[in-house]
A and B are shown apart, each in its own frame.
Chain A
């Protein structure tokens, strides 16, 4: 075991001395998390809504009540105006993002210059106009029903269906499954770059073969398995360093909340690293060329990261279903569960699938091991 540790330490030290490795495996994930996390993490200010309610009856009452309600007020900041013309002028001059006029003849929207803000305003107002249509029909059928009663009953029915648009920091957005963007990408890129540790293991083995140090290692009176165990442990050691840096840095600098189950996070990272190293062994048993190894790893890792939603959060249900065949998906799920304060026991199925994928890759690696580590 001492020999294996010596080899592992030697491997890790050499990896740490390669500037490109440090930049790529430690610097790049932090940069990507920063860039993507911040690019997609914007606090959405409430849309400035210029409102004119011409109908002073029950419908107008309901509109004012609706726009002042906490649910709508979170998204729109309604400013009452005396006429439709004033509303139109507000939007034209940029004093308001969107205009809304309720007259006796119907509802009018005045979209502003920003599509995103228009969408938010429309989604909030559409709910009311749909309610209004129903309400008008109800009023015809039951003239005695008060405006407040109708508004409340309809609001309760549709409340759950409201399109949820919120800040990415506040863990309530749809696209990121209730995580902030930085949290989301921290997990995705931790897993992605842990997989890259397998590539460094494969490249190290290939380089040692090419340079003859592998031959010298094999001439030493130590079992081949111990030597190779040491080499792979070295890559795992580097992966640990990677995980510590990514988790520590994102927690300390970006304020990412990783939950508190660091033991479980270590376990998930260890499973991903083991799978990556197993994959490296399988690849090395077929390919001896550095460029080919780099290409295969990059292709597989980038594809798996994409399919698991690591690059674009909302990739569509079809691709997301395909993503379930990737180790990234299950590792991401497990880590996000831990982030949300859950345990691996609660998400036993994803943990079990992650273990099964790793075990399968390691079994394939064991099968191809001799071929992978052969001198020629």
Chain B
């Protein structure tokens, strides 16, 4: 069931197009990873969905409601975790969460329960009375999340939630995202850390220069751009004859000789034809020392789609 739908959405800042005719469907229960370099239009897309920005053209629907026409209905379904640490340094962790919970209309015992639940979920219950000024970067990020999930939203939008934190806090946050998803929330997760998106997303959208250049599961994306598994072979030595024979194998679609005794190649139906490669090496009295299978990652996928790396600016 489609939960979020972008239809031909356009957003411009003066003359610069930030979101360019975006069409995107996200199903209920998904963890949708939105990937792209800084300035690709991810945050703008999220702000459009959250009703924080007016769009210049198109329509965004959330749970069947138009974001532009029914903002209160759509906003009540969203928990936004902004890229900035949108918390009050002068309020304690509990006061922060309580304040935002009250704004979502929670009162009485339900308010107390949900606040404690959010603090527990983010591992901040023991620090509830402390002000964020005393917190580490990771704890502040977790408080940022607690404030967004206290009203149990159907859709959680996380905009670069792991920027500038330690690996332990990052793992905690990624684990939280999975748990929230298991508890029934749909999650939209933006990052320019491809490994994060790769690790938690059920589906991925790749944005570049305001356009959604590809979307689907990782496997679907690999097929879309024709990326295949690569084999890294390291031998004791490598002769030109052996290299030429491997290169001429009909199932080898890509061949690169990296160093004297190293080969990187794409071998179609590798499980069936790897023995042919090993036979060639034996025939030339070469000894295989190391064999590594490298699956295509999002970095290479992004590179294949845009011609640039994720670390580049859009």
Contacts and interface: CB of A to CB of B under 8 A. Distances in A.
Do they bind each other? yes
Interface of A: 3, 6-7, 10, 13-14, 17-18, 211-213, 215-223, 375
Contact of A215 (B76, B82, B90, B99): B82
In which size bucket is the chain B interface? 20 to 34
21 contacts: A10-B99, A13-B90, A14-B88, A211-B85, A211-B86, A212-B82, A212-B83, A213-B87, A215-B82, A215-B86, A216-B100, A216-B147, A216-B148, A218-B51, A218-B52, A219-B51, A219-B78, A220-B103, A221-B76, A222-B103, A223-B72
Contacts of B147: 216
Interface of B: 47, 50-53, 71-73, 75-76, 78, 80, 82-88, 90-91, 99-100, 102-104, 147-148
Contacts of A221: 71-73, 75-76, 104
B84 A215 contact: yes
A212 B161 CA distance: 13
A217 B103 contact: yes
Nearest to A218: B52
A217 B50 CA distance: 11
Nearest to A14: B90
A335 B184 CA distance: 61
Given A10-B91, A13-B91, 12 more contacts: A6-B99, A10-B88, A10-B99, A14-B91, A211-B84, A215-B80, A216-B147, A217-B103, A219-B82, A220-B103, A221-B75, A221-B104
Contacts of B87: 213
B91 A6 contact: no
B80 A219 contact: yes
A252 to B, nearest CB: 29
Nearest to B147: A216
A212 B85 contact: yes
Contacts of B103: 3, 6-7, 217, 220, 222
Contacts of B76: 221
Closest 7 A/B residue pairs (Cβ)? A212-B84, A221-B75, A212-B86, A216-B86, A221-B76, A219-B80, A221-B72
Contacts of B88: 10, 14, 213
Nearest to A9: B99
B82 A216 contact: yes
Given A7-B103, A13-B91, A216 B72 contact: no
Nearest to A16: B90
